[in-house]
Every structure is written in structure tokens, then in C-alpha cells.
Amino acid sequence: MLYLNFLSPLKLFSKYAFLALFWLLLCWHMLVPEVHAGDEETTPRLLLSGEEAEQGKKAPEPPRISSVFGTQTLKVYPLPFEDQYPSGPFERLDKHLFLFISKCGDVYFVRQNEAMELVKPGKPLTKFIPGGETSDDESSSKQLVYCKELSGVKDSLLIGKTLYVAYTAWDDVSNGVRLAVSEFEVDIENSEVSFDREIYISRPAIKEPILGHQVGGKLALGENDRTLYLSIGDFSKPERVQDKTTSLGKVIRISLQQLSAEVYASGFRSPSGGLFYDKESNELWLTDHGPRGGDEINLVKRGKNYGWPIVSYGTIYERDGMSGYYGNKFNSHEGYEKPAMTFVPSIGVGPLAKYPATGRNDFWDNDLFVAGMGNTTLYRVRKEGVNLVYAEPVLSDYRIRAIQIDQNGTFYLKTDHNQLLISEQE
């Protein structure tokens, strides 16, 4: 009996020792990676969390324009110069040569190779003025662009070798700011841009301190090479928009042949996002920043009034959304031309471009691509006739300042972060 009682604790100890050894081996197997033939590591070892992350690290996926009806992969090219916010426009001179204009009017010729390469240092847009009696020079140069806060270059448009630039300009006579459009000649061989003439200037000059807010300044080539369209905002003077003696809050039609201008449509707040004339359908499309809500895409028609500041689907920031503002009827466009599409809440509506029928994706034929700068999202807007049916988000996390789409359906997207995104052939 004593012998049996002595063995019982040993049996109990052996049982629990076996279980402990089993659990130890199981935990060791879970912690140590299995080794196979061909692995660089031949000795099992514990991996630290940082090493695990490094071994499992993958190259970041390239951004894509991703729609239910197709995708395009984008390559991101950092630009070889620095621009300020809000950044300026760009033009394609040929397949691999670009012209960029900074917010403050510096011109850069950039060539696309494996990276974007600066052809020569940037030079400001200037014009020559006659020298004074005491000057030894026959002429002197004057910088054109009034660049302060949000003021500066607003848009450009290239027709052949002629470049049109819309920008804020200081009027010494009136002691105020206007929106001007000037014509320049582009010398591609020598990478030079030279001033030719000023073709339009807005009225009146705004004498109060201006931050460049709600200026507009978008350009579009019209029904022929002799017609330009220009959008002008309310310069933060909404009470002047419905005044027919001003150009504030208007779309202006400019004849390049006669150098004459007429008010084409009115009632806009801040049409500083995008302006596009579709020659195939003879339609003029415009984006307009609403106040708090009420961002718009408008089909602009001759002689029509789009209502600002009397009507808006948004409201102003200083009110609770119910009170009047210059007679404003919030959440309504009653009595005025309605937008083709409205965004509530605001997306910070920006540039727009049409996807061509000759592009690679038949499902996108004639659709509009519109950038939301506020929510850093690109939308494909389904277009059927003159109706805009829906807005599909297709790219996020990029604040897109300018959009161009060529006849092959290649996208060129310029961001406010000194990047050019180009879609790749697939």
C-alpha cells in the first residue's frame, strides 16, 4: 500500500508535465515560420513585428480611374517646379511637351521622359511698355499678373501657336483689380512666350481689398477659332451680379476677329472650376461654386439668367439656411434657369472635360468628367442628350485643378500638389 501511494504522485506529475510540454511545442510551432527548401533562411527564428511588416510589404498600387464600366491606370509625374495654391493651368504642345503657367504667371516648358524635365527656367508673363524720358532703355517690362492670396492666373487656352491667358490684373487708373484676358505668341523651338495684346478686361475695377475669391476666369474655345467664352464671378459682390452694366457674374462671348465682347448669360456666383464648349453638340457647359451647398453644372444658353444671388439650391454660410439674402430663395431656382446637376453638400466643383466618342472606352462616350476639389474626388457624369443622369465617383484623394482628355481617351490631370497624372495605354 505504501509503495502504491508513493507512485500515484509521480503518475500525476508525469501527466501534467506531458501536457505542459505539448503546449510548449504547440506555441513554438505557431511562433516559428515553417522552413522549406529554397528559403533564404535555413534556421528557424522568431520574427519581430517590424520584420513581418517589411517582409510582407508590397509596392503601392498605382492610382486608377475606376468605374463600374471600366478603368484606366494613372502614372503620377511630380512636376519639376513649385507652384502656389491655387495652382495654374497647363497646355499640351505635343505628345511629350507641356507648357505650365504658375499661379503668379511664371511660364515653364516641361518635357515628359521617364520623369518630367524642365526645358529651361521659368519666366514671368510680362509686357513691354515705352521707357520714360530718363530711361536709357527703349522699353521696360511690366509683370502682368496681380498675384496675392487667391488672385493670379485663372486659366489658359492654346489655339495653334497663340496662347490666351485669363488673370487678375491691377488697374493703376482705377486703383483696383480686374479680370483680364491677354494674347501671347508661343515660340516652341526657343521655349519662349511673348505678349501680343490685351483683348478683354472686366468692369468695374474692384477697389476694396480683394483676395481673388469668386473671380471666375475660365476660358473655352467656341464654335470656331475666332470665338472665346470667358466666365466671370461676382468678386464677392453678389449685389452687382444682376446689374447689367457690370460684367460680374456673367459669361462673356468674345469675338477675336472684331475684338468685341457681349454678355452671353448671367446669374453666376463663382464659375472658377471649368468651362467647356462641345463643338459636336454646340453646347456650352460650366461649373459654378454655390455657397453652402448648391454647386452646379450648367448648360449655358444665350440670354438666360441662372439666378444668383436671387435663387440657389444652397445657402450662405452666415445664415441658418432659412433667412433671405438679397431676396434669395434658398433651395430653389424658381423663375430662373435651372442647373443641369446640383451637388448638395458642396463638392468644391472644379474643372470638367468630355470623354470623346473616339476614346478607348465605349461606355464613357460623350460623358463628362468633373472634379470635386473640395472632396478630392473625380466623377464620371453620365450624359444622355442634354440630361445629366448620375455622378459616379471614379478617383479619390487628388485635388484636381485642370483636366484634359485627348481624342484617344488619354487623361491628363493636374493637381494642386505639383503633379501631372497621365493615364496609360492598356
In tens, the pLDDT along 59-108 reads 688 999 999 999 999 999 999 999 989 999 999 999 999 999 999 999 99
CATH number of residue 162's parent domain? 2.120.10.30
Predicted pLDDT of residue 15: 53
Strand partners, 183: 164, 197
pLDDT at 2 over 90: no
| Residue 150 covered by a domain | yes
Per-residue confidence at 38, pLDDT binned at 50, 70, 90? very low
Q: Domain containing 87: what range?
A: 76-130+140-423
Answer for the pair 291, 348: CB distance below 8 angstroms, yes or no: no
pTM value? 0.84
Residue 286, classed as helix, strand or coil, is strand
Residue bearing the bigger pLDDT, 264 or 52: 264
**Residue 212: per-residue pLDDT:** 86
169-194: average pLDDT: 96
Cis peptide before 124 (omega within 30 of 0): no
30 in any annotated domain? no
In this structure, is residue 164 part of a structural domain?
yes
The pLDDT value given to residue 319: 52
C-alpha 349/C-alpha 141 separation (Å) is: 37
Q: Is residue 3 a part of any domain in this protein?
A: no
Average pLDDT of 335-340? Answer: 97
More confident residue, 14 or 359: 359
Centroid of chain to Cα 300: 21
| b/e per residue 261-296 (b: at least 16 CB within 10 A) | bebbbbbbbbbbbbbbbeeeeebbbbbbbbbbbbbb
Q: 363 falls in which pLDDT band (50, 70, 90)?
A: very high
Q: Which tens digit of pLDDT belongs to each residue from 234-253?
A: 999 999 999 999 999 999 99
Domain presence at residue 46? no
Looking at residue 322, what is its pLDDT? 43
What does the DSSP 8-state code read for residue 239?
G
How many structural domains does the chain have? Answer: 1
Q: What percent of the chain has pLDDT over 70?
A: 80
Kindly tell me if the per-residue pLDDT of 37 is higher than 60: no
pLDDT greater than 90 at residue 324: no
Whether residue 256 is predicted with pLDDT greater than 90 in this model: the reply is yes
Residue 6 domain flag: no
Average pLDDT of span 347-376? 95
Do strands 329-330 and 311-312 pair parallel, antiparallel, or not at all (unpaired)? Answer: parallel
191 residue type, one letter = S
What is the percentage of the chain residues whose pLDDT exceeds 90? 72
Residue 35, number of CB atoms within 10 A of its CB? 12
Mean pLDDT of 418-422: 98
According to the model, what pLDDT value does residue 316 have?
73
The rounded distance, in Å, linking the Cα atoms of 300 and 114 is 41
Q: Please state, in angstroms and rounded to a whole number, the distance separating the CA atoms of residues 408 and 95.
A: 12
Q: Lowest mean pLDDT: which of 91-95, 139-143, 271-275?
A: 139-143
| Environment class of 387 (CB within 10 Å of its CB; exposed 0-12, middle 13-18, buried 19+) | exposed
Mean pLDDT of 326-335: 78
* Residue 20 placed within a domain: no
Strands 227-232 and 216-221: antiparallel
pLDDT bracket for residue 209 (50, 70, 90): confident
Residue for grid cell 460684367:
247
Q: Give long-range contacts, CB 8 A cutoff, 24+ apart: 406-409.
A: 406/92, 406/356, 407/356, 407/358, 407/359, 408/358, 408/359, 408/360, 409/72, 409/355, 409/356, 409/358, 409/359, 409/360, 409/361, 409/364
Question: What's the mean pLDDT in 42-71?
Answer: 66
- Which pLDDT tens digit goes with each residue over 97-137? 999 999 999 999 999 999 999 999 999 999 876 554 444 44
Q: What contacts 32, CB < 8 A, 6 or more positions away?
A: 44, 45, 46
Mean pLDDT of all residues in 38-52? 38
